[in-house]
Amino acid sequence: MVKTLRIGGASGFWGDAVSATPQLLAAGGLDFIVYDYLAEITMAILARARAKDPSAGYASDFVTGAMAPNLAEIAAQGVRIISNAGGVNPGAGAAALREEIARQGLSLKVAVIEGDDLSGQVEEIAANAPVEMFSGALFPPKDKIASINAYLGAFPIAAALDRGADIVITGRCVDSAVTLGACIHQFGWTPEDLDQLAGGSLAGHILECGPQATGGNFTDWRDVVEGLEEIGYPIAEVNPDGSFDVIKPDGTGGLVSRGTVGEQMLYEIGDPQAYALPDVICDFSDVTLTEIGPDRVHVTGARGLGVPGDYKTCLTHADGYRAGHIFTFYGLEAEEKARAFADAALARTRAQLKAMNAPDFTDVSVELIGAESQFGEMRQSPPAREVAAKIAVRHVDARAVGLFLKEATGLGLATPPGLSGFAGTRPRPSPVLALFSYLTPKDQVRVRLRDEVGETQIPAAAAVEPTPPQRPALPALPTAQRPVEVPLVRLAYGRSGDKGDIANIGILARYPDFMPWIWAALTEDHLSRVFGHFAQGRIERFYLPGSASMNILLHGALGGGGTSSLRNDPQAKGYAQLLLAAPVPVDADLLEGNESNA
């Protein structure tokens, strides 16, 4: 009988805690530890690093922090490692790791998955001139392109494991592929095993953000705040049918519950019935989350609808410069003083730009943090007596951005009273690497596996035309015997994030019978009132009956997205908090009955 596969998730971003690896090794009994380091912002950073140094461009602390101190124990336990730490230079990352393995006298085998880097095909790609898949923007100038990477899947990782690799390093693959690759290797899943692939992908999605599945960024943060400094990293126990349990190491902080796992399931998935990954198009609408023991949640019900014929591809390109600074004010009328200062700094700079016949800024952002500027028309606070004025600009010329920083600082003695702040040197303009996403046919991407055996090309699985999703029946409109308005947080958990310039907000009902009230309350009109000061495009809502939840997409809501936005929250990490604070109607008897039985 094929045993359950135990996989620990040790990293959710480049910079995650190095303590995760020894914690998971100490838990024992793991077959794999997986690491996700890459996001669109990370790829832009790594592309800039490689441009300066051809030997750079990978997540170096995977080698120095996660692997080097733990290689002996990894070898002793026979735990296998999968990581996308290769970034835009996986070969260099693998070479550095092999040197460290040799230095320690170990015999671990390292395999590399390459082929995601399409920057050598700029001429061919530009000739086809794909449009941006979300906004419809035109293809950027060839001479501005910094990186082009296709999002690879899990089957090449499985092939490397089949050939005996102890450690697999990839370039850009989808975050969940590091987990799915282990599952394919262990269970022998084929491209036709769509439901199993969807289940393994969901397991990878739960693990890919590390402790976000075990209490990190959790709505009910007070339930996990004690012991947060030693929060447990997640472990998935995956079954051959694609179902799995989520747990954490014994004795660690944090929490594994329907709420923590459900929030992570909804995180950044877009349409939950058409979550397209390289290996399978997933339908999570009927997924159920069941607490079957303390810190143990059973997850089942993921379905696969088909296999896409394209790879999502992300291109970064130079798009001007940006910079900003935070100026704090306190005292009476702090908001008005900060606003007057921001207006003066911008007007002063614009006057000089006009005098030089230079163009205006391409974007400007002023946010008064502490004055509920993030809440828009849902603001409820009285005038603040201390605020942080974040003022940021973008321009095609770095000198214009530098001019703004100089003029804003130069107003220090001409400002309204109350200006203060602790800061070092004046910020400098930084180049903007904007994101451009499009689809690349799989037959145009040559995926390669390089290991001690040699180099092998891994062909992509054939596309399977997806079954159209059957949209679930929506909840019936509820009626209240005793209506009352309460903040949404009384009814739901929430988590939010980004996909380019799209904000993704997942809302999970605390109890299933709250869901009709939540769906009825979170109309497009309600969402427009909460996010109208941010959102510039359409609003989409999706219902997931299996988990009593919904997903919300706000298009054009992030000022261009994380790689180029001037916003205080360019990745929508706090958008769920704004929505949870907004009042919604519910039946008082239903609310009180559920809360009293909790």
As a whole number of angstroms, the distance between CA 309 and CA 181 comes to: 19
Task: Enumerate the domain spans of the chain.
Answer: 5-116+151-307, 322-416, 483-597
Helix (H, G, I), strand (E, B) or coil at 302: coil
- Exposure pattern of 47-76 as b/e (b: 16+ CB <10 Å)? bbbbeeeeebbbbbbbbebbbbebbeebee
| Residue indicated by tokens 């101190």 | 69
Distance CA(574)–CA(217), nearest Å, equals 10
| Secondary structure, 3-state, 195-218 | HHHHHHHHHHHHHCCHHHHCCCCC
Distances (CA, A) of 378 to 81, 204, 257, 417, 458: 47, 36, 31, 29, 53
What does the alpha-carbon distance between residue 278 and residue 582 come to, in Å, rounded to a whole number? 37
**pLDDT value of residue 226:** 87
Nearest to 203 by CA among 252, 264, 253, 156: 264
Q: What is the pLDDT of residues 328-364, one digit of tens each?
A: 999 999 999 999 999 999 999 999 999 999 999 999 9
**Is residue 188 within 8 Å of residue 234, measured between CB atoms?**
no
Q: Dig out the tokens for 178 from the structure.
A: 């590091």
456 Cβ neighbours under 8 A, 6+ residues apart? 159, 448, 449
Region 81-106 average pLDDT:
97
pLDDT at 2 over 70: no
* pLDDT, tens digit, 9 for 90 and up, residues 137-189: 999 999 999 899 999 999 999 999 999 999 999 999 999 999 999 999 999 99
Residues 6+ apart with CB under 8 A from 408: 325, 327, 345, 349, 391
- The pLDDT of residue 10 is 97
Distant-in-sequence, close-in-space partners of 471: CB < 8 Å, separation ≥ 6: 273, 543
CA distances from 423 to 290, 326, 519 (A): 48, 9, 45
End-to-end CA distance of the chain: 40
Q: Rounded to whole angstroms, how far apart are CA atoms 547 and 515?
A: 10
What's residue 294's pLDDT? Answer: 96
Average pLDDT over residues 422-443: 89
State pLDDT tens for residues 440-479.
Answer: 999 999 999 999 889 999 999 889 999 888 899 999 999 9
Q: Is 423 helix (H, G, I), strand (E, B) or coil?
A: coil
Instruction: Return d(Cα 271, Cα 284) in angstroms, integer.
Output: 9
Closest CA to 298 of 309, 307, 287, 306: 287
The residue-averaged pLDDT of 85-98 equals 96
Residue type, 131: V
Say what the pLDDT of residue 596 is.
Answer: 87
Length in residues, the chain: 598
C-beta separation of 97 from 110 below 8 A: yes
**pLDDT tens-digit map of 530-550:** 999 998 899 999 999 999 999
Tell me if residue 426 falls in helix, strand or coil: coil
> Measured between alpha carbons, how far is 140 from 367 in angstroms, rounded to an integer?
30
Give residue 201's pLDDT: 98
For the CA atoms of 191, 194, 198, 199, the dihedral, rounded to the nearest 10 degrees, stands at -100
Token pair for 20: 């995760």
The dihedrals phi and psi of 295, each to the nearest 5 degrees, come to 55, 40
pTM of the model: 0.95
Instruction: Compute how many other C-beta atoms are within 10 angstroms of the C-beta atom of residue 196.
Output: 25
- 278-333: pLDDT as tens digits: 999 999 999 999 999 999 999 999 999 999 999 999 999 999 999 999 999 999 99
Q: Classify domain 322-416 by CATH architecture.
A: 2-Layer Sandwich (3.30)
Strand residues in 344-447 grouped as ranges (E) = 363-369, 386-395, 419-420, 430-441
CB count in 10 Å sphere of residue 148 = 24
584: helix, strand or coil: strand
Instruction: Give the model confidence (pLDDT) of 477-503 as tens digits.
Output: 999 999 999 999 999 999 999 998 999
The rounded distance, in Å, linking the Cα atoms of 494 and 407 is: 41
What does the angle CA 572 – CA 577 – CA 579 come to, to the nearest 5 degrees? 95
Cβ-based neighbours of 376, under 8 Å, separated by 6 or more: 529, 530, 531, 532, 533, 534
What pLDDT shows up at residue 453?
Answer: 87
| % of the chain at pLDDT higher than 90 | 88
Q: Which two tokens stand for residue 356?
A: 């030089």
In sequence order, what DSSP letters do the residues of 478-522 get, joined into one string?
P--SSEEEEEGGGTEEEEEEEETTEEEEEEEESSGGGHHHHHHHS
Under the banding of pLDDT at 50, 70 and 90, the label for residue 48 is confident
- Cβ density class 342-352: b for 16+ within 10 Å, e for less: bebbbebbbee
What per-residue confidence (pLDDT) applies to 47? Answer: 85
Q: Tell me if 206 sits within 8 A of 234, measured CB to CB.
A: yes
Distance of CA 419 to the CA centre of its chain: 35
Helices first, then strands: H and E counts in the chain: 16, 26
- Average pLDDT in the chain: 95
Quick one: pLDDT at residue 242? 98
- Decide if 531 contacts 576 (C-beta within 8 A): no
pLDDT tops 60 at residue 1: no
The three-state secondary structure class of 457 is strand
Tokens of 221: 């943060």
For every residue of 321-340, DSSP letters joined together read EEEEEEEEEESTTHHHHHHH
